[in-house]
Chains A and B, each alone.
Chain A
Amino acid sequence: MQLENLGLYYWAIAPEIIVSVVGVIIMMVDAFSSRGARKLNAVIALAGLIAALVSVVMLDGLGSGSYFSGMVVIDPIRIFFSVTILLAAIVAALLASQFLKDEGLPPGEFFSLLMFATAGMLLLAGAGDLVTVFLGLEIASITSYVMAGYRRYDLRSNESSLKYFLLGSFSTAFLLYGMALTYGAAGSTNIQKITAAIASGQVNYPALLLIGAALMIVGFGFKIASAPFHLWTPDVYEGAPTIVTGFMGTGPKVAVFAAFIRVFVIGFGPQDSEIGIQLHTTWVTVLAVIAALTMTIGNVIAISQKNIKRMLAYSSIAHAGYALVGFLTGDFAPVAFYMLAYSIMSLGAFAVIQLLARAGDQRTEIADYAGIGFEAPALSFSLAIFLLSLAGIPPTAGFMSKFYVFKTAWDMTPELRWLVLVAVINSIISVYYYLYPIVVMFFRPLVPGFIKPRIAGMTMIALILTLLGTFYLGIMPNRLMNAMSRPPAVVTQITVK
């Protein structure tokens, strides 16, 4: 064994290292400050996240490769998804400061949990090995379980945390078992080696590989909240503190999509061997059905929701379905673009909801929004824009991302055009429930007892950022799309740079 052969290049995991170290620093700051240094923690967290963002951009300049014996890879998938995750984390950190103050919750743990969750997601996005996928997923999930229950004295928050924890562990078991079977079939946990084994037809038990892939679909499907594994989502999203809901609905989902793409689209991609073709057609068919189901269930049930957080929970299920359509094109770019746009508008919407709901999530029914449109115009118009964007109305990010996904799917996979049609029909359905809160806000009499919320500086920055992002991606998406249109670099063998 030689040290050089291990491929230990620490800059390859620089973003993860930065984020975890900052998490630890926040822990220490919290431990040694007598009454929670909220502002200081927020600033440290933001500085760390921005430093990580810079390091991700610098990683992009280094080109593709795999490191740590193939455990971690650098490729465009990782870069784009990492940027999305970090942006979501930055917005969440900006929003968290006011949230923690209003709710009177301890700040130190929240920020360090946020950082650790981010580190796990970044690792998940850069995982080149099933083991690292599992590791990243566990770090991200376990911290999310805690964050979901962060409002400790609130029963709904506890319920949310417990449900998330129980179902999440259950699904992780599925994923792990799927990984074990895949390892048994392909003889390696390294995704590139698995691909090579499938391509050369050297699979020990083909049935094992199929079962493994099926179990992994269950595991990943749970984490991205696709039907029929979506049942946890509404309760968890409703009970968790709104900021956490926003973060949970974006960050982990983005990261899991990255790993999902790397395992399925690249790892189990179309290969020449018999088993390769069989595997590919099987999972594409299964995921197409899942995508159609997810969109339809999410949208149809969202219509009947009275609580805006539940509504957005179902909407997030539906959006996972749209992203899955992009997933099936075999290209990562539509999914990456879609998830970026979705993260920005969803976080923006949850930010406004958090502000309007006040401490303890008192006002989250859609009825509570009646007539507030011209009482709190800034918030109402922002929420309206985010909802319109979620519905996919131009000139917003939502429209552009949907258009990109649907067009790519229509062009590149003619056999899946029916799915695109289903998706378009679903988008039309979704307009109804996204418009409903807007109608309530602007065209109903004012609900009594409305107090105009205070907006702190950091929250304001977050809102402006998300608004700008929504319009930027909606009006000028070319630069990003061009950057993404590079082919996903598939590193054929484990090379050490």
Chain B
Amino acid sequence: MKEYLPILIVFIFVAGFAVTNVILAYLIGQHKNTRAKLMPYECGMDPVGTARQRFSVKFYLVAMLFILFDIEAIFLVPWAVVFKDLIYKLSKPFVFIEMMIFIAVLFIGYIYSWRKGLFEWNRA
């Protein structure tokens, strides 16, 4: 397990670095705040309305599709890693066909989403 220890070390290292940077930025820089300076940037004009506006539902759809396909991609990873070993230990067609069925199901879902217009960014 010791090969995982550097992860902890580097996390402490980098987190320290990042937090130090934030504090340094506060300490070293000068502070001459004016209202205009602290205004949200909008091409030099006074901001119009609020930035907390509703955004397209498409972003949520993309997020959901991502979750679906990413989980399926994760299922492919262990199979891919043991593929070489398993085709000797089990049988070649079994290891291959099982996953091809999985990919086929994945692909059917993909075609379905395509046909139903989930990937059409232009449509509502």
Contact = CB atoms under 8 A, between A and B. Distances in A.
A462 B96 CA distance: 44
A32 B94 contact: no
A2 B88 CA distance: 11
Interface in B97-122: 105, 108, 111-112, 115-116
Contact of A28 (B89, B91, B94, B108): B108
Contact of B108 (A1, A2, A3, A24): A24
Contacts of A28: 108, 111-112
B115 A31 contact: yes
Q: Could you tell me the dominant secondary structure of chain A's interface residues?
A: helix
B116 A31 contact: yes
Contacts of A27: 108, 112
A1 B89 contact: yes
Contacts of B108: 24, 27-28
Contacts of A31: 111-112, 115-116
A1 B90 contact: yes
Contact of A3 (B94, B105, B112, B116): B94
Nearest to A31: B115
Interface residues of B, number: 10
B109 to A, nearest CB: 8
Contacts, number: 18
Interface string B58-88: 0000000000000000000000000000000
Given A27-B108, A28-B108, A3 B91 contact: yes
B86 to A, nearest CB: 9
A3 B94 CA distance: 9
A480 B55 CA distance: 59
Nearest to A2: B90
A27 B111 CA distance: 10
Contacts of B116: 31
B115 A24 contact: no
Contacts of A2: 90
Nearest to B95: A3
Nearest to A20: B105
B111 A3 contact: no
Interface string A4-31: 0000000000000000000010011001
B115 A3 contact: no
A480 to B, nearest CB: 37
Nearest to A8: B94
A2 B90 CA distance: 6
Contacts of A24: 105, 108
B115 A32 contact: yes
A1 B89 CA distance: 8
Interface string B36-63: 0000000000000000000000000000
A3 B108 CA distance: 28
Contacts of B111: 28, 31
Contacts of A3: 90-91, 94
B101 to A, nearest CB: 11
Interface in A362-383: none
Nearest to B115: A31
Contacts of B89: 1
Interface string B16-28: 0000000000000
A50 B8 CA distance: 58
Nearest to B111: A31
Contacts of A1: 89-90
A1 B82 CA distance: 13
A155 to B, nearest CB: 20
Interface string A195-219: 0000000000000000000000000
A181 B111 CA distance: 41
Name the residue in B108, B111, B112, B115 with the highest tally of chain A Cβ atoms < 10 Å from its Cβ: B112
Given A1-B89, A1-B90, 16 more contacts: A2-B90, A3-B90, A3-B91, A3-B94, A24-B105, A24-B108, A27-B108, A27-B112, A28-B108, A28-B111, A28-B112, A31-B111, A31-B112, A31-B115, A31-B116, A32-B115
List the 9 shortest-distance A-B pairs measured between CB atoms, nearest first: A31-B115, A3-B90, A31-B112, A27-B112, A24-B108, A3-B91, A3-B94, A31-B116, A32-B115
Interface of B: 89-91, 94, 105, 108, 111-112, 115-116
9 contacts: A1-B90, A2-B90, A3-B90, A3-B91, A3-B94, A27-B108, A27-B112, A28-B112, A31-B116
